[in-house]
Structure 1
Amino acid sequence: MEPTRFEFNCLGELLVLAKAEDLGGGDVTSAMLPGGARAAGRFVARQELVVCGGAFLAAIGAAYDGAIQTNVLVADGQGVEAGATLAQWSGPAGAVLSAERVALNFLQRLCGIATLTREYVEAVAATSADIYDTRKTTPGWRHLEKYAVRAGGGHNHRMGLYDAVLVKDNHLALLQPLAALADKLAEARDALGGRGFVEVEVDTLEQFDVALKLPVDVILLDNFTLDDLAEAVRRRDAAGLAGELALEASGGVDLASVGRIAATGVDRIAIGALTHSAPAADVAFDIDQP
């Protein structure tokens, strides 16, 4: 898979900051290299992982020196074993070494998210549930982290506050009772202009019964027990809304529980940990000895 043009633009904005904070006034260590020295090296997976970020390596290298050549060997979204070479760089030695750490920081973060997402996707593979991310992302990194979720086989929830309606508990605390929200939800849908979706959060079966009567596309079942999740699915289906109204489970989801949650019949499982708690993948850059 390949990033969108917008995701490449997001990389560019982050890369300006990443280069500035790391390079500062210049790489005083690489300055010791002889003038005209060249280097070649490989980005290597030190663990089994799902690749994400290889598509960005050419842009990262070019930000340091347009003479850095990139050869990507594994596409984003592909799984590899430990020891696999993901990509190669060659070019002016000083530039290659100066860019190495920033490139690895991007790769390790994005591969980590893609790898964790793939674990969740595989854990629910025997069911019809899809894995979704959330807005719990690193400030400034949202679009790249959500790209990594897709590379791992997950789905993107709303990108921000602008592209979907999600009425959560704090909104309900300040709005009218849930049962009286139909008109406001219809207005919010109109404001979307035909894009996005309308979703409402509930945390009890009593609230769920009210939400079933509202003009929404998704109901978020927050911290429901397994029995209550299954009951919500039964009530949705009994109302004739299967295939029309999606049910999304969230809260307290981990790799140990996600399979049982998916088995209740919910359509979607939203997991903040995909982006806020994914461990960095172990990726290294090794210089090829002449």
Structure 2
Amino acid sequence: MTTRDFRQIQWDSQLEEDCRRIVRQAVSEDLDRGHDLTTAALIARDTSGEAAFVARQTGIACGLQAAKIACEEMDLNVAWQAYLADGDTLAPGVSLASYSGTARDMLTGERVALNLLCKLSGIASLTREYVDRIAGTKAAIYDTRKTTPGWRHLEKYAVRCGGARNHRTGLYDAVLIKDNHLAIAGHSGPLSEAVTRAREFVQQQLGSGTSSTIIEIEVDTLDQFREVLPVRPDIVLLDNMAPEQLTQAVRLRDAEAPDVQLEASGGINLNTIRAVAETGVDRISVGALTHAAPWLDIGLDWKT
């Protein structure tokens, strides 16, 4: 069976620059006129402080590198020392990092750092819940493009920290033929023709190196699945199929095209994902990892 996969996001220079861009935007939102009015009014310039970012609930840490970058990008007179790494397990009362320096700067930068930590840790934590639910099966969990505009790379990084895998990053790095493409294109022939057409386009337009470009097509019935199987797309997305249908699709694939990967998607949640994984599908994509993850409760505890 094919081992080709989508690009997997990791912490690198591109992700770091994405983080700096987000921090700059956050700073402009908080300091539109250049001042933290409350802090400037009440806190003397020479006041120092010491604090720690502390987990209030169980989860998975993510955003520690991002929070450190926030301190750097805001040019704060503070020292940041991480105690954990992205992907580590959290429990209530566990300190993620120490935070010390000029009290004014600490207060000004507190919310930006917390927003990064809470949002990204929330995604990583929910992702880990999904991963744990399918332990012992062959399936892998994937995210989707249902991400916050401007945050896609960071959110997909958080998914990786939670133990799942990244689906395509954008519209540019894979072909995913969906029903809307076929409807708008006026395609009325066999679905296999759409796969062949897409494959030929990639080869003609993108030239060398296109053998790594994944071709995926969405189907929502077993009849459609039977249509596309002979042309062997890299992945077939089985949309909103019941576990019984997914099991049948797996049997057909195993018998006729064992190199084709099967991805289940559509309405899958924590209560249903185990049954989906036990059908034998290879991949399960879950948009909720990024669009429905609650923030993890993390606070800044000051030492007095």
When residues 111 and 229 of structure 1 are mapped into structure 2, their CA distance, relative to the original with a 3 A threshold, is same
1:5 maps to which of 10, 13, 17? 13
2:210 maps to which of 172, 177, 193? 193
**Structure-2 separation of matches of 1:288 and 1:152:** 31
Cα displacement (A) at 1:223: 0.2
When residues 69 and 194 of structure 1 are mapped into structure 2, their CA distance, relative to the original with a 3 A threshold, is farther
**Structure-1 separation of matches of 2:146 and 2:198:** 24
When residues 183 and 260 of structure 1 are mapped into structure 2, their CA distance, relative to the original with a 3 A threshold, is closer
SS of residue in 1 equivalent to 2:37: coil
In structure 2, what is the equivalent of residue 22 of structure 1?
30
1:162 maps to which of 158, 164, 172? 172
Q: Are residues 1:88 and 2:98 paired?
A: yes
Q: Are residues 1:261 and 2:265 paired?
A: no
**Structure-1 separation of matches of 2:178 and 2:28:** 39
When residues 2 and 85 of structure 1 are mapped into structure 2, their CA distance, relative to the original with a 3 A threshold, is farther
Cα displacement (A) at 1:128: 0.6
1:40-62 deviation line (CA, Å, top 9, x unaligned): 11110000010000111221112
In structure 2, what is the equivalent of residue 145 of structure 1?
155
In structure 1, what is the equivalent of residue 247 of structure 2?
230
Unaligned segments of structure 2, at least 5 residues: 1-8
Moved more, 273-282 or 183-192: 183-192
**Structure-1 separation of matches of 2:219 and 2:100:** 54
TM-score by length of 2: 0.91
In structure 2, what is the equivalent of residue 103 of structure 1?
113
When residues 278 and 125 of structure 1 are mapped into structure 2, their CA distance, relative to the original with a 3 A threshold, is same
Q: Are residues 1:174 and 2:188 paired?
A: no
Contact 2:10 2:157 in 1 (8 A): no
Cα displacement (A) at 1:65: 2.6
Q: Which AA in structure 2 matches 1:102?
A: V
Cα displacement (A) at 1:35: 1.7
**Structure-1 separation of matches of 2:129 and 2:195:** 38
Cα displacement (A) at 1:163: 0.5
Contact 1:165 1:188 in 2 (8 A): no
Query: Superposition RMSD on alpha carbons, in Å?
Result: 1.5
In structure 2, what is the equivalent of residue 217 of structure 1?
234
Q: Are residues 1:184 and 2:227 paired?
A: no
SS of residue in 2 equivalent to 1:109: helix
Q: Are residues 1:44 and 2:54 paired?
A: yes
1:52-75 deviation line (CA, Å, top 9, x unaligned): 001112211122234321101111
Q: Which AA in structure 1 matches 2:166?
A: N
In structure 2, what is the equivalent of residue 133 of structure 1?
143
Q: Are residues 1:250 and 2:265 paired?
A: yes
SS of residue in 2 equivalent to 1:269: strand
| Runs of 4+ off more than 3 Å | none
Contact 1:163 1:195 in 2 (8 A): no
When residues 38 and 188 of structure 1 are mapped into structure 2, their CA distance, relative to the original with a 3 A threshold, is farther
Cα displacement (A) at 1:2: 6.4
Q: Are residues 1:278 and 2:278 paired?
A: no
Contact 2:232 2:260 in 1 (8 A): no
Unaligned segments of structure 1, at least 5 residues: none
SS of residue in 1 equivalent to 2:104: helix
Cα displacement (A) at 1:193: 2.6
**Structure-1 separation of matches of 2:155 and 2:240:** 25
1:104-130 deviation line (CA, Å, top 9, x unaligned): 111111000000000000000120100
TM-score by length of 1: 0.95
SS of residue in 2 equivalent to 1:248: strand
Identity of aligned residues (%): 45
1:179-231 deviation line (CA, Å, top 9, x unaligned): 32243122244237344411000000000001102241000000001100000
Cα displacement (A) at 1:23: 1.9
Cα displacement (A) at 1:287: 1.3
In structure 1, what is the equivalent of residue 6 of structure 2?
none
**Structure-1 separation of matches of 2:10 and 2:54:** 20
